[in-house]
Structure 1
């Protein structure tokens, strides 16, 4: 990134540029000093570096793909050894940048860096090993990266904590606080002396990633509480896990309280309908995020989206059954599709109607019929071509990475099957 990351941050806040054109997961660049003794590396994921008298503290270390770049660009900013790395959470884009610093320490005879994280992180890494194949498939689909390889080995933390721990490095105090949010092992870091808040993925310049349809449970209520706590700190600089810094006490407070309000609204409205006995289908098509919050440049649904958060709240409190009795012990999807296709006059009729609905702007219903047609006639090239068209169009109409990833995967799957036929 050639221009200052702080200039980009200001432009995004004021609306001089749009977040849809500057996706929070697209920032890549060199280390930039964003405050005295504090550097920020925009990457996947971001890395925050803090200078102390005993060496550097890093909050997050980036992904394996960018680990060497992170090391090299930070070395152009500071020659000091890496003393401590704090993992904000265990997602693989945050925890794979320690190795170059460890190799450097061994080569120069330095004390190796220590890694500090929440006590739930080792169990996360264990789970990642257990479900490596599944995670590989899910993330290939989510991000559209066919050659993504899910790691089988991890750098486990040297020290863990439960609710809070205080570190002192080179005379500088750092507070590490646990919060369940996007993950169960999340840490936000507060450096009071420098009025610096490193929030990890609790804020990412997008509608909170509290509903990802292909990943494990998120915790919106506790997430909102953590954001309100952070909002009260009086931080002057907030460095997120994705996206750009937020500068200034008022901007930081607004960004965090707005984000908390969004999650609280989705959570509370969903729970109220659950308590009234509403099934999931009714809740999903009733609960909506306040539009004035979605209009904020830092809460646009460009990665996750509120509808998925509603589903995650249901999953948290209500289990896997959605309230439809036919779904408790359903027939095989292909059998249901075949029966519906027979009643409609064949899979081709379903496919034709899907295109009519797509043309009329009813993407959701078109998706149902295209899927039913393809399940009823999986070897029919014409039907698969319709499914490809429907879901490719749906992907074009979506704003969130989550929805785009699934719909593009479906479109490509059917495009390949139609060509095979």
Structure 2
């Protein structure tokens, strides 16, 4: 079994990203005396308190039972507490398996977790749809596609100990501080054990560029996210335990990691807000603001899930609302009506599609996608036009790095393939 702290140290110090470090093995590794991690979707980080085990997060509904089995192979002591770092499905769905194995659990979560559960149930079908598109079949074994069950199981455990701004758990001989901060979510807690100097970061650290701009999800909070990371770094943790990716050891290494992530977010916010204050529109800002490529090359900041361009949009949304500054897009015509007009001017939807293919061949997939969409909207039942559109998005998906972009472009490809070849 890998020594996870040695593995993460070697990756960070060398910059070698050939070894996987966002792993879903459902195997448990002891990281320190009385501290273990089950690498799953998401991880469950377990503390032996001397009077029951405390688990940070319960993983996904489809991995919870395997996580429990791994914990039981490590210790016969029952889990007495689950701490939800936040209410995302991959952190809480496995609580059903914990309940079946242990029962009588104290479930700790921020006061907004219950509101999140209520929202998920109110918009269940929407959440199933957007997650199927976001993950794009990359992890089909997690049943996130069409026909998936409820987004979170109806019997997911709800918090029984509700946290506001902060709280302290005294379990056995362990003291666990809990702190709330908005970041990826508005219900996020991070944990700190001052005696051991263990930091439980949840999704504030995911070994990818921060998920602060997800194009299909509700508002993220990059300013508060960065401030929380600075707060964590100031405590000089000696072991960092994220909910995704490898645990990290060494106070200096952890401080650099946390401040790098904070700095990337702070830089984006500062430049976007400066340009907004200068009266620039979203189109200009999107194509002008970015992150230093050297920073994005670091193993824990690569844009393989979310990406800086999406964070720019989220900052605009937080401070500027939904309108992008283009007058025609305040109250626009339907896409199909505009597309039909442009297709008529071009000589037909097939002309737009042909030009989309030419532009894609030149490597300009942004422009090619516009043209392919216009062609498809103008001719929604034309198999030839949609064959071109499907190919444009197939090629574009292959050029992208982030899972979110790949998933959405794959969704567009499948949409047009269903028109181009309905029997496939």
TM-score interval, smaller chain: over 0.9
Give the match for residue 230 of structure 1. Answer: 232
Deviation at 1:23, TM superposition (A): 6.2
Which residue of the partner structure matches residue 38 of structure 2? 41
1:317 maps to what in 2? 319
Structure 1 gap ranges (5+): 107-111
What residue number does 1:109 align with?
A: none
Match in the other structure for 2:355: 353
Q: Retained in 1: the 8 A contact 2:222–2:315?
A: yes
What is the SS of the residue equivalent to 2:215?
A: coil
- Once the two structures are TM-superposed, the CA of residue 29 in structure 1 deviates from its matched residue by 3.4
Partner residue of 2:164 out of 162, 165, 183: 162
Q: How many residues align?
A: 413
Partner Cα distance (2:36, 2:108) in 1:
20
In the TM superposition, 1:261-410 aligns within 5 A as 261-410=263-412
Return the alpha-carbon distance in structure 1 between the equivalents of residues 390 and 94 of structure 2: 39
Aligned mates of 1:270, 1:389 — CA distance in 2: 34
8 Å CA contact retained: 2:61, 2:96:
no
Residues 27 and 243, structure 1, Cα contact 8 Å, conserved in 2:
no
Contact 2:226 / 2:265 at 8 angstroms: preserved in 1? yes
Post-superposition shift, 1:27? 3.0
| Contact 1:129 1:152 (8 Å CA) reproduced | no
Query: In the alignment, which of 17, 20, 44 is matched to residue 22 of structure 1?
Result: 20
Aligned residue runs from structure 1 range 82-101, under 5 A: 82-101=79-98
Choose the corresponding residue for 1:245, options 227, 247, 254. Answer: 247
TM (norm. structure 2) is: 0.95
Which SS does the other structure have where 2:299 is aligned? coil
Q: Does 1:144 align with 2:141?
A: no
User: Which has the higher mean CA deviation after the structures are superposed, 202-211 or 3-12?
Assistant: 3-12
Structure 2 unaligned residues grouped into runs of 5+: 138-144
Q: Which residue of structure 2 aligns with residue 127 of structure 1?
A: 119
Contact 1:15 1:297 in 2 (8 A): no
Per-residue CA distance 1:315-364 (angstroms, 9 max, x = gap): 00111110000001100000000011111111111111111111111010
> Partners in 2 of 1:347 and 1:100 — Cα distance?
53
Q: 1:209: how far off?
A: 0.3
Query: Does structure 1 conserve the Cα–Cα contact (< 8 Å) formed by 2:357 and 2:368?
Result: yes
Structure-1-length-normalised TM-score = 0.95
Q: Counterparts of 2:251 and 2:152 in 1: how far apart (Å)?
A: 39
Could you tell me whether the CA contact under 8 Å between 2:170 and 2:176 is conserved in 1?
yes
Determine the C-alpha separation between the residues in 2 that align with 1:6 and 1:250: 14
Deviations 1:106-125 (A, max 9, x none): 5xxxxx11001111111000
- 2:109 counterpart of 1:117: yes
Root mean square deviation of aligned Cα: 1.4
SS at match of 1:64: coil
Tell me which of 246, 253, 256 is aligned to 1:254: 256
Contact 2:357 2:388 in 1 (8 A): yes
CA distance in 1, matches of 2:11, 2:414: 33
